[in-house]
């Protein structure tokens, strides 16, 4: 059976059935995720990080997934472990399961579906789907040896990748591109928006060089007005659901995260500050895209 057919089959299961399937496929873990003594010392405030057990199987292209992620968020994140007082039992080897990248995304999609997106969803949207797109749609082959192992293990051609992501998104009532051509067109729109940003930076450097002359200042004002107009037109073509909102090309990242918190994550994260901390590794354009999708869904619900 091809990888793709197995992934489709997993999507027809619930999360417990999917875990059982993966345990049968890859076997159980041979060590705990963290060392217990180190874990206890970390929880007592004696040390700032936790020593990991010998659970890694990235040499085989496999990720390690916490089975109890259907009960709690971020079980490998030091801050979340301490704040939420995660018991060590969730880190034991019998609470771990192995999976390749696509299987990992499927597990998170199933958990998100079963918990109304309260659990599993942040990792799915912020890490797993972007990584799948990067590897198999943008066709960026990772450089590090362990990531190359994972890349090869779950390899799909672009058409299969779009189809499996669309099926996962369907589990969560989220839209996605219908074809690989749709995906590439979307990427072009995003690239054009980024190019406008680069042009703006170049124009700013030039302005500083010539700003001493009043004539230049007047010309620059006229050009800036035209540039801003074109930039905003392109921005709202790319993100039509931001029309009639106060979201624009220069909206600060902190404000976008605050809005995401109000729309989606207020029942998941304790505060906007905690959400902001969780999203530190996420690029601003991914945050912008997720907020756009959220507003799209909210508007659909209101209609």
Tens-place pLDDT, residues 202-231? 777 776 766 666 676 777 788 888 888 888
The pTM score is 0.65
280 token code pair:
């530190």
Using a CB cutoff of 8 Å and minimum separation of 24, what contacts does 70-75 make?
70/15, 70/111, 70/114, 70/115, 70/119, 70/120, 71/119, 72/119, 73/119, 73/122, 73/268, 74/122, 74/123, 74/278, 75/33
Cα 77 from Cα 42, distance rounded (Å): 12
63 token code pair:
């990720």
Higher pLDDT, 270 or 196: 270
Q: Give the pLDDT confidence score for residue 199 in this predicted structure.
A: 67
Residue 303 has pLDDT above 60, yes or no: no
Cα 187 from Cα 285, distance rounded (Å): 11
Q: Where are the domains of the chain?
A: 3-175, 177-238, 246-303
pLDDT tens digits, one per residue of 2-15 = 699 999 999 999 99
Place of tokens 């990067």: 134
pLDDT tens digits, one per residue of 105-133 = 999 999 999 999 999 999 999 999 999 99
248 token code pair:
């624009």
pLDDT band at 56 (very low <50, low <70, confident <90, very high): very high
Average pLDDT over residues 155-173: 96
Cα 225 from chain centroid?
Answer: 35
114 token code pair:
């079963």
Residue 292 has pLDDT above 70, yes or no: yes
Higher pLDDT, 51 or 295: 51
């Amino acid at each position: 059976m091809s990888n793709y057919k197995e992934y489709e089959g997993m999507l027809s299961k619930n999360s417990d059935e999917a875990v059982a399937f993966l345990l049968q496929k890859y076997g159980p873990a041979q060590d705990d995720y963290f060392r217990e003594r180190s874990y206890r010392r970390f929880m007592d405030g004696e040390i700032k990080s936790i020593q990991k057990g010998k659970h890694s199987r990235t040499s085989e292209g496999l990720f390690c997934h916490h089975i109890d992620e259907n009960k709690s968020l971020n079980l490998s994140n030091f801050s979340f472990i301490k704040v939420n007082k995660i018991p060590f039992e969730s880190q034991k080897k019998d609470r771990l399961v192995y999976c390749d990248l696509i299987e990992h995304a499927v597990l998170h999609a199933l958990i998100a579906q079963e918990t109304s997106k309260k659990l599993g969803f942040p990792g799915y949207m912020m890490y797993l789907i972007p990584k799948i797109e990067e590897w198999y749609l943008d066709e960026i082959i990772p450089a590090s040896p362990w990531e190359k192992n994972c890349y090869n293990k779950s390899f799909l051609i672009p058409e299969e990748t779009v189809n499996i992501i669309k099926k996962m998104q369907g589990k969560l009532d989220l839209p996605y591109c219908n074809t690989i051509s749709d995906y590439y067109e979307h990427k072009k729109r995003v690239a054009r928006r980024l190019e406008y940003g680069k042009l703006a930076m170049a124009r700013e450097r030039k302005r500083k060089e010539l700003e001493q002359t009043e004539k230049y200042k007047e010309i620059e004002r006229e050009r800036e007005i035209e540039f801003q107009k074109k930039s905003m037109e392109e921005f709202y073509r790319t993100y039509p659901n931001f029309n009639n909102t106060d979201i624009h090309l220069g909206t600060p990242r902190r404000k976008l995260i605050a809005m995401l918190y109000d729309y989606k994550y207020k029942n998941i994260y304790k505060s906007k500050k905690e959400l902001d901390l969780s999203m530190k590794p996420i690029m601003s354009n991914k945050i912008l895209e997720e907020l756009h999708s959220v507003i799209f869904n909210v508007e659909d619900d209101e209609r």
